[in-house]
């Protein structure tokens, strides 16, 4: 049996997830639990460009779309970067403000991870 990786919640991601509908919380929670155990969710979408290393989960509920973004690229820890309700009316594109939040938190997660690794040596 493999060791389950801990989750570090960046910014308001945990609070934002807990504010989502129960069905969405359950689906995202199950997917993140699988990631902790080394499994990739079936519907996970790797992000590209400056967000490379981040993975997006998407869930539709009552006509609304919810997303959770995490990274498992950093050894031994899952960082949940952002959880949000997609409000953009411009198709499937993620709004710029959400992209900026994910980008900032991904950089913060990498810096935090490097800092933690430095303290362990």
Where residue 90 falls among pLDDT bands split at 50, 70, 90? low
Which of 62, 69, 63 is CA-nearest to residue 95?
A: 69
Question: What digits encode the pLDDT tens for the residues 51-81?
Answer: 999 999 999 999 999 999 999 999 999 999 9
Out of 21-25, 40-44, 55-59, 100-104, pick the least confident: 40-44
Task: Report DSSP letters for 12-73, one per residue.
Answer: THHHHHHTS-HHHHHHHHHHHHHHHTTPPPTT-EE--GGGTTEEEEEEEETTEEEEEEEE--
Q: 68 near 28, Cβ under 8 Å?
A: yes
**pLDDT of residue 112 exceeding 60:** yes
Task: Identify the pLDDT of residue 120.
Answer: 65
Q: DSSP class of residue 94?
A: P
CATH number of 7-120: 3.30.2310.20
The mean pLDDT value of the chain amounts to 92
């Amino acid at each position: 049996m493999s060791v389950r990786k801990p989750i570090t919640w960046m910014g308001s991601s945990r609070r934002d997830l807990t504010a989502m509908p129960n069905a969405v919380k359950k689906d995202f929670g199950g997917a993140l639990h699988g990631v902790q155990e080394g499994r990739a969710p079936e519907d996970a979408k790797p992000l590209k460009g400056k967000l490379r290393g981040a993975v997006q989960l998407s869930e539709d509920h009552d006509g609304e779309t919810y997303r959770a973004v995490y990274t498992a690229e950093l050894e031994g820890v899952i960082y949940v970067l952002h959880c949000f309700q997609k409000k953009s009316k411009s198709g499937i594109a993620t709004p710029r403000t959400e992209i900026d939040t994910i980008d900032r938190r991904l950089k913060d997660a990498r810096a935090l991870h490097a800092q933690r690794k430095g303290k362990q040596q």
